[in-house]
Structure 1
């Protein structure tokens, strides 16, 4: 292929959630650079617009992945414009800055963190609603579009926290473990319809979320024996590999990208 559709994703239609910043923005940029037409979705509409303006053949969408109707509308918009959806990378997610502060305070005082007993229903539901419910909404909407065409690739973003669970961070760990299991179950169903689903599970990565991490916690993640915090671009490269034809035989994979902090 040549011309405007040259590249590994030349001529393909892609939807990226969480595209306004961090890993999602890096994915949107790399997909566009490799030929895709990108729909950049984020709950922060102006951030999505700013990223889309940088890219050729890109369109911003304001989407709260925790609201299933908004996810459905986004996929409907892509299909209305192009009749298909080839690639979805679901990078939208949230952390809990308050729980991180409680953990950091405990570290500073050299005592175990006490979070679970203080964790309110609202904090639990916020993390689960976006991270786990949002992943279900995106997977379901993507399959509804892709399965009838017997083609497509979906990449979800999990976390190394699902394996090396952080004391005092139960809701985040549970949400991301749920993302892994959900993605793998859907992957085994979807491949019968020609759709591949895989997951990248980053370790510490230099995103806006990481920038809000208290210094004591950041110091705890730093280890001279392993690679430093990943860049969003490094994680984006893995996501693009999973979405590409080069990963044709990868189905239900969870690729741990934590710089050597631990293995599973």
Structure 2
């Protein structure tokens, strides 16, 4: 709400100096620590089998860092780096790790985004918010044999908002 209020009032958001340790750690625990735990569990199952494909959900926010979300952007950049490091390690065991990095997507979290922020994401030159199904299609592709040559890739799925 701090960010939305600042946009409505025409002033820059002031987030970093107000961001408490608990909020920082919560985002890191959910996004980065959670990804580590899932990757580790998947590798433990797939390595003995000598094959597998893991698709991690990152975020375009790791590249196009939105103002007011330093903790989210940092956590997702960490997710990308973690996934790429694990991808290099486990490819020798026949396991592929790749990342889909969505931009704005119609999720429960997006539904709670204040209108002032949602309108900031609206851009007539690009596709609107992705649907969960569109992001799932990309994840399914990354998990499929059609993506057999993709290892450590981060696929931007942001509707043309930017390229990296």
TM-score, normalization: structure 1? 0.62
The structure where helix makes up a greater share of residues is 2
Aligned to 2:56: 156
TM-score, normalization: structure 2? 0.99
Helix, strand or coil for the counterpart of 1:224? coil
Aligned to 1:228: 128
For residue 34 of structure 2, the aligned residue among 134, 145, 158 is 134
* Distance in 2 separating the partners of 1:116 and 1:168: 7
Q: Which has the higher contact order (CA 8 A, sep 6+)?
A: 2
For residue 170 of structure 1, the aligned residue among 70, 75, 80 is 70
* Distance in 2 separating the partners of 1:118 and 1:228: 31
* Distance in 2 separating the partners of 1:168 and 1:257: 21
1:103 maps onto 2:37 in alignment: no
TM-fit CA distance, 1:171: 0.3
Q: Aligned-residue CA RMSD in angstroms?
A: 0.5
For residue 85 of structure 2, the aligned residue among 171, 185, 209 is 185
1:208 maps onto 2:114 in alignment: no
Where do 5+ consecutive residues of structure 1 fail to align? 1-100
Matches within 5 A, 1:1-264: 101-264=1-164
* Distance in 2 separating the partners of 1:131 and 1:231: 20
* Distance in 1 separating the partners of 2:6 and 2:29: 27
Deviating 4+ runs (over 6 angstroms): none
* Distance in 2 separating the partners of 1:110 and 1:227: 26
Helix, strand or coil for the counterpart of 2:25? helix
| Equivalences, count | 164
TM-fit CA distance, 1:244: 0.6
Where do 5+ consecutive residues of structure 2 fail to align? none
* Distance in 2 separating the partners of 1:207 and 1:168: 20
Helix, strand or coil for the counterpart of 1:218? helix
Superimposed CA distance per residue, residues 210-259 of structure 1 (whole angstroms, 9 cap, x where no aligned partner)? 00100000000000010010000000000000001111110000000000
